[in-house]
Amino acid sequence: MIYLDNNATTRLAPEVLEIMTRYYMQDYANPNSIHSMGLTANMAMEEAREKIASLLGANPREIFFTSCATESINWALRTATSFRGNRKKVITSSIEHKAVLNTFKDLKNTHDIEIVQVPPEKDGVVLAEKILKEIDDDTYLVSLMAVNNVTGAIQPFEQLGNLLAKKGIFYHIDAVQTIGKMPFSLKNSTCDFASFSAHKFHGPKGIGILYVRKNTKLRPFITGGGQERGMRSGTQNVPGIVGTALALELAVNSLEETSTRLNEYRKIIIETVKEIGGVVNTPFDHSIPNTLNVSIPGIRGEILVNALSEEGICVGTSSACSSRSDGGQYVLEAMKANPEQTASAIRISMSRETTEQDILTFIGVLKKLVATLKF
Ligand code: PLP
């Protein structure tokens, strides 16, 4: 199999599996137990927190472990809403992940908030000025993704952070698609919250991170035994947390080499896509190096994905037709792509494990399939 759907999830790094096995099989105690095995587990967890904080440019006390980025996002947006006072307005983009869009939808039903969704430009990038223009005295929260998962387009999350500083508005960044794909640091960031997910960078499924800036108001999300300094109860997933720290370290250390290599692979794919009459939906110079969203007019996205799958190649679709896809059709629609371009879009997302041979095989199969499938 050739796996090119890494924005959906990645393979666990073998080194990560190895270290996790130790904390499942040997040092498996509850990190909140006070006996020696508990202390060993606790120490491993806190060392992982320190490593993660240092790699992200944060303080360990600003790092909370959750079960996935969706949980981190829910926590951030719901916490901000609980401290909004009389303010009602949130501003986000129309191309956010459903974890953000549907959480706001729910908050609208339950808390009567007002949601402003700023659309992207044709290249899939949202302009910071357009978000800023929507801000008024009624605004309590801005949430923007750092990188769009469907197109790979990098959003102006840093610029927006500078513009928002000292405005007294909560700022959340969905940073899920940044790790291992572009330099990312919270060191000079002014955001209050940032969400991450380990399974997107060769870490385990079941671990999310919520960064909460020091002095930002925070409401406990899951109440119970008081773990995570009383803010997120439930016995921590020590193997997953330790694995996440190692996965993050590996991702950061290989960033430069991986980026250069994957950008070359993207050029090879783009050449082929153009040769077969396709359109590139990703802004090459303003996107992460692992992602390429392309449309092959005349072939529906899901038909091409299925045909590639039969040839042993896994790519993602942007179509909303399948409830099992991550349904990115609305992203292309928001970019004002024409209906055919939207219906025929596929997403190729590589990882540091992708090889040149994978890409050469992929483009060979793509050319062959397009010749037979096109009507
Ligand atoms: N945000 C973005 C940009 C994503 O790509 C994803 C996953 O696809 C999520 C949030 C949700 O992540 P998780 O699967 O960890 O809940």
pLDDT digits (tens, 9 = 90+) for 217-273: 999 999 999 999 999 999 999 999 999 999 999 999 999 999 999 999 999 999 999
Give the nearest ligand 1 atom to 149 CA: 5
Band (pLDDT 50/70/90 cuts) for residue 373 is: confident
Give Cβ neighbours of residue 13 (< 8 Å, ≥ 6 apart). 202, 203, 246, 247, 250
Q: Is the pLDDT of residue 285 over 70?
A: yes
Radius of gyration of the chain, Cα coordinates, nearest whole angstrom? 21
Structure tokens belonging to residue 266: 């993207």
pLDDT at site 45: 98
Nearest to 293 by CA among 264, 270, 313, 325: 270
Q: How far is the CA of 364 from the centre of ligand 1 (A)?
A: 31
pLDDT at site 101: 98
Share the mean pLDDT of the chain: 96
Cβ 177 under 6 angstroms from ligand 1: yes
Band (pLDDT 50/70/90 cuts) for residue 328 is: confident
Interior/surface letters 337-355, b for 16+ CB within 10 angstroms, e for the rest: beeebbbbbbbbbbbbebe
Q: How far is the CA of 66 from the centre of ligand 1 (A)?
A: 13
Pocket test for ligand 1, best of 9, 200, 326 (most atoms within 8 A of CB): 200
Q: Is the pLDDT of residue 325 over 60?
A: no
Q: Is the pLDDT of residue 8 over 90?
A: yes
Give the nearest ligand 1 atom to 208 CA: 15
Average pLDDT (17-34) is 98
- The whole-model pTM stands at 0.97
pLDDT of 197-220, one tens digit each?
Answer: 999 999 999 999 999 999 999 999
pLDDT at site 166: 84
pLDDT at site 306: 96
Average pLDDT (187-195) is 95
Band (pLDDT 50/70/90 cuts) for residue 165 is: confident
Q: How far is the CA of 197 from the centre of ligand 1 (A)?
A: 7
Q: Is 115 exposed, middle or buried (0-12, 13-18, 19+ CB in 10 A)?
A: middle
Cβ 149 under 6 angstroms from ligand 1: yes
Report the residue count for the chain.
Answer: 375
Q: State the Cα–Cα distance between residues 131 and 141, nearest whole angstrom.
A: 11
Structure tokens belonging to residue 358: 């994978």
Taking every pair of Cα atoms in the chain, the longest distance, rounded to a whole number of angstroms, is 68
Average pLDDT (139-154) is 98
Average pLDDT (274-295) is 97
What percentage of the chain exceeds 90 in pLDDT?
94
| Residue in the block written with tokens 């193997």 | 239
Band (pLDDT 50/70/90 cuts) for residue 321 is: very low
Average pLDDT (362-373) is 95
Structure tokens belonging to residue 59: 């303080």
Q: How far does CA 298 lie from the centroid of its chain?
A: 30
pLDDT of 48-71, one tens digit each?
Answer: 999 999 999 999 999 999 999 999
What percentage of the chain exceeds 70 in pLDDT?
97
By DSSP bridging, strand 291-295 and strand 345-349 are antiparallel
Give the nearest ligand 1 atom to 8 CA: 8
Cβ 197 under 6 angstroms from ligand 1: yes
Q: At what angle do helices 255-275 and 238-253 cross, to 10 degrees?
A: 70
